[in-house]
Amino acid sequence: MPMGGSPVWHRPTPQREEPVEHPSYFQLMLHLRELIDAEFGVTAALDGVAREPAALGLSDEEWNIVGESVVTLVELHKEGWNGIWCSILAEGLST
């Protein structure tokens, strides 16, 4: 998380269908929320969603952006801001 405590969200800009436009995007975010709520760490959460259809085919750069977002979500969870941020992020990026 950047200095000042405000999370920064990155939206990938791939040359193909973006993950947030993928029909399985919300399933990926739901799965991610479940993993974070179950106290999975960053690596385990990323491993858990890596095979979701919306995550398949992401470039290394896009996967790094996903990883940065998961780090922020896990940190928010540890600070008591539970996995609801997955839902908020999913809604915000899909609009």
Q: How does pLDDT run across 23-54, given as a tens digit for each residue?
A: 777 888 888 889 998 999 999 999 999 988 88
Confidence of residue 1 (pLDDT cuts 50, 70, 90): very low
Query: How is residue 91 written in tokens?
Result: 């809604």
Q: Which residue has the higher pLDDT, 4 or 85?
A: 85
Is the entire prediction scored with pTM above 0.75? no
pLDDT of residue 35: 93
